Structure 1
Amino acid sequence: MIDVSLQLSVSDKRRRFDLDIAFATDAPFVALYGPSGAGKSLTLQAMAGLLPVRAGHVKLNGRALLDTAANIDLPPEARRVGYLFQHYALFPHLSVRDNVAFGLTSWRKRLKADDATRVDELIESFGLTAMARSRPATLSGGQQQRVALARALACNPQVLLLDEPFAALHTTLRRQLRAELRDLRQRLGIPAVIVSHDPEDVIALADEVFLLDGGGVQSSLKADDPGLRAALEAAP
């Protein structure tokens, strides 16, 4: 089960945004759907431990990653969260293999033997072996996404967070990678949370959808709800 309740604020000199969101679900693939500025990406960042939270909790199958009432706030590296950033955030100066391995190493230590084996297995499973020494700039958009997914999975995560993973891809490739992502999640057997404002992403992937606007959940729908498409198209 994914159980999330978060209260936080972000601001600059001109504006302030308050996130006050709560949802709990046993659905294996969850979508956070809504317009830009609704708080979708902030929710993922807070779940991953990348933002300070004023109050709330994040629990995965009963394991608390964050619980402000109990003074629990695990650092990002201890949360076992796989995170796919919207624009992949690959390091341009690193090879495909080093990008996948990033996070399993430090500047003082070499990759452990078990970790090196896992990295090589991920590279092979994503069809990246031939380009393992290549830099991200030489790869197609689909190949870059596969590198970013392999990197997100290298830490053997308990949940996969996906922030607009298809935003930079053309329509045909989006359809192909949606199918690959759905199959991947099923093979891994871990829950996934996807952020999107594209109804087709949600309909193709999600088992449950939470509609966000103004920093909170407005409503939720199951994948088999006959009014799902209409609700998505009518959302802000």
Structure 2
Amino acid sequence: MIDIRLQLSVQDARRRFDLNIAFATDAPVVALYGPSGAGKSLTLQAIAGLQPVSAGHVRLNGHTLLDTAAGTCLPPEARGVGYLFQHYALFPHLSVRDNIAFGLTSWRRRLRAGDAARVDALIASFGLEALAHSRPSTLSGGQQQRVALARALACQPQVLLLDEPFAALHTTLRRQLRAELRELRQRLAIPTLLVSHDPEDVVALADEVLLMDGGGVQARLRADDPGLRASLEAAP
């Protein structure tokens, strides 16, 4: 169960944006769908602890990660969140293996044996063995996405946040990686929040859709709704 209520504001000298979103769901994959500037990515950042929240809560499978009323606010590294950033955010000076292992290490210690085995298993699972010592600049877009997804899974997250995971890929590769991601999510059974403004991503992957605009949820739809595609295409 994902139970979210978030209120926050971001602003600069020219504009202010208010996010006010609340939803609770046990759907395996929930898509946050809407135009650029709707607050989709901001919602993921707040769930992950990367944006300060003025009021609200984040509860995942009965665990409270944030509750402003109770004074609870776990740091990002303690939230058990796997985050796939829109442009992957791979470290250019690290190898594929070191990128995947990054969240499991610190300057005080080396990778533990169990963590090292998990990294190796992810490398094998994503077909990255031949690239384990390569740098991100030498990889294709699809390979970079696989590395970023493996890194998000390395911490054994209780929820997976995917921010426009296919935005940088061409049409054929998008279709292939959608199928791979669908199979992976079914195999691992990790609740997933997917941000997208592409109807094809939503139709292929989501069990429930939150239509967002202006910092809030405007409508909720199920994947088996016969009017889903029409609603997506009619959305701003």
Question: TM-score scaled to structure 1, two decimals?
Answer: 0.99
Q: Matches of residues 25-174 of structure 1 in structure 2 within 5 Å?
A: 25-174=25-174
Specify the code of the residue in structure 1 equivalent to 2:227.
Answer: G
* Structure 2 Cα separation of the partners of residues 119 and 24 of structure 1: 32
Deviation string, structure 1 residues 166-208 (Cα, Å, up to 9, x no partner): 0000000000000110111111111000000000000000000
Query: Structure 1: which 5+ residue stretches go unaligned?
Result: none
Aligned-partner SS, 1:69: coil
Structure 2 residue 210 is the aligned partner of structure 1 residue 204: no
* Structure 2 Cα separation of the partners of residues 61 and 100 of structure 1: 25
Deviation string, structure 1 residues 5-38 (Cα, Å, up to 9, x no partner): 0000001111110000011111000000000000
Specify the code of the residue in structure 2 equivalent to 1:175.
Answer: R
Aligned-partner SS, 2:187: helix
Q: Matches of residues 2-41 of structure 1 in structure 2 within 5 Å?
A: 2-41=2-41
Specify the code of the residue in structure 2 equivalent to 1:44.
Answer: L
* Structure 1 Cα separation of the partners of residues 93 and 12 of structure 2: 31
Specify the alignment match of 1:192 in structure 2.
Answer: 192
* Structure 1 Cα separation of the partners of residues 16 and 191 of structure 2: 31
Matched residue pairs, number? 236
Query: Structure 2: which 5+ residue stretches go unaligned?
Result: none
Deviation string, structure 1 residues 61-89 (Cα, Å, up to 9, x no partner): 11111111111111001100000000000
* Structure 2 Cα separation of the partners of residues 190 and 149 of structure 1: 13
- Residue 93 of structure 1: how far off its partner (Å): 0.5
* Structure 1 Cα separation of the partners of residues 139 and 192 of structure 2: 26
- Residue 211 of structure 1: how far off its partner (Å): 0.3
- Residue 103 of structure 1: how far off its partner (Å): 1.0
Specify the alignment match of 1:182 in structure 2.
Answer: 182
Aligned-partner SS, 1:44: helix
Aligned-partner SS, 2:69: helix
Deviation string, structure 1 residues 81-119 (Cα, Å, up to 9, x no partner): 000000000000100000000011112211111111101
Percent pairwise identity: 83
Runs of at least 4 residues off by over 4 Å = none
Q: What's the C-alpha RMSD, in Å, of the aligned pairs?
A: 0.5
* Structure 1 Cα separation of the partners of residues 229 and 222 of structure 2: 11
